Chains A and B, each alone.
Chain A
């Protein structure tokens, strides 16, 4: 395939390829939780139970469900605390991490603690009594953070209380709750993985832990929503031109050739209160993205309804240079789509004939072997939609072809020097910058906290 001028075609082939990989991954996934390719990057292990391997098994007893711990004997001094950590450290890549304990029995002295400790913690001391550990203790309601002396923090807690401990990555704080209400926060000045930790110290104390399998007493979702709202407040103080969003939407519609929508949008925005003055601030690129809008709209419609032959005809008349080279990525995309459409309407024999004549030339090109295989595989299934190549029959595949044609036509504009300008709309560039900035910002922060993902917002 001609490499130099095929930047656009190759870009969309890559897009197809990533869809194919995602579909293949989804098909072979054994876990019930399916995640988009975005969130795979965000996947982190999280605590699910207590770690019996590492705990000070001499003093406390973890029950077989690994979610309860008891202190059976009598404690003698300050170095026989029954401390247990979770099996995994708290995950970083989210806004907040939280877990809860329920005090089943406060025992003789109610010397229970909940908190966070680092991996090298001395497992015979209360969390908070050693450096790099934090603990909220039930007997005195104090917060301990690395010294023997605690600080006034919250109420004491005892049998029947649900106490929670959390890390707020946005505010870089620990927070603790009692029976659903936040009792206090303390700055998090320790880095590195932190394990949710529970401790019992006097006879007959018993505590159960909840890492999220059951609903929390504390309304975590409301808390997260409030945190996000606080972040939003800082954004409020920045004034954004009201026109900015209109310009971006307008540019998006022009770029992808949504001509009818654009007409309605323009009409409506003229009669808004107060009227929006468009096109004055950003005059330069207006003409470039309205180039050939009518043609692009027509071709998008044809491709979205599966009429590939018509699309080809129109292209041959209007933009022959795009379909000239039979071996170009663009032609490949279109031919594959035609094949897919034939399969969709059940004309399998015709599809096979078409495939034999058209795909032959593409078989020699190793770069697209995987994609040709996917197409051919459609023939193997009685119900192709349910197979791993079912994604080809979805709208998203037609969309790739339609967007590819759109970009190619934009690139035929004699005023464009670099074809790559035609690859992304302004909105897409904006979203990429935003996502990349957020990721960078987060990595500067020790990779803690939420990133920006459009999918999550939606």
Chain B
């Protein structure tokens, strides 16, 4: 059977037992390039069994419009779209994943990895999880090329995407039209693949997206989807897609995207566990708030998503209650009961958790913040604290300036012998042109010297001047020679730069120049 050829295990394993096999088979036949993946398009019977893929596609397009049965068509379409999108976006990191319609994730996965298609090992859960992320990224734009040539194909794909995209209103703006155009083309090709890849569960999860979605939106979805494609979310979405549900577009959207993603990954996950990680890596967002291995997630999702859209997902999930695949580069998020599990909300949840974690850190730093609850108040406290610290620095610097005349003499006494020794070494190290590196190395050595202990003690003990006092009592004569050397060094340094602070800054900058480590460090965005 054609379907077997294409869908492989997924197809058969699908609980829903997609009838559309015929359609998919036809489609598969038409598209030679499409690997036999499990493209469970789950297209309904209305899908004409056109041998020609294009015709099949058109039928796909039309069928959803003509009869929107449980939404299988839409699911399929959504899958296709997602796949296409994923292919397009392979590796593209779209801004907040939440904006990406889940569809794209679903879509991307299957499309992205044609090799995965062969996976049809259908566990859709597994595939959904692992495969999704990878395929998305894997799908390089190069894949598009073969498909791009078929304008009619693209049109159909676009239409498909429309179907799928229906549920995703927000996506349109993301990628822009030009990109969308490209995506649509790609997606069309991808969709074909996706259809084939369809992983059985994809077939089950009919893309909920309705056909009304404008193409652009679809495209943007793809972009977003691609991002998610790899994520397990996609897989979960694919599950949802099976649910078809009719439910809200949003829900469908998510389901579709997830379902698709799942479909793809399911098949591919088996094959390339590492790929998803690659895909994931490429996509920062992918860190899958989604989650836990696809299987786990699905399981978790299932109970929750009882809703219309969720139901489908659940069903898909249940079938796939498999052992979670080892997460690659995902940030695994365990969706709790009663929480939304779509990619958007998961990403948001991960983000919120990160933010709350940082806020807790800040709470420890800022004194007197324990009683304050609420982000606004906490932020107020933090702002006040930072301002007060800066004011303190200013005040102390004025105080030090006023005390300056005494500095000269006190510097000797201030520096404990050890510290002085350490500092004395510094100028010699600093002066060579290679000062940056030496200074840096010195700085690193500094931590191990007794100076560290001395300074640390003096600084750690709040207001404790014992160490310094002891140094004060030290006979300065011993330190004088060294201090002179140091003073000479500093004066020499002063001569070198007009600004008294320059050498400190230069050291820092020199380090950056002289040390590859610095330069290689990604400069934090200012």
Asked if A pairs with B, the answer is no
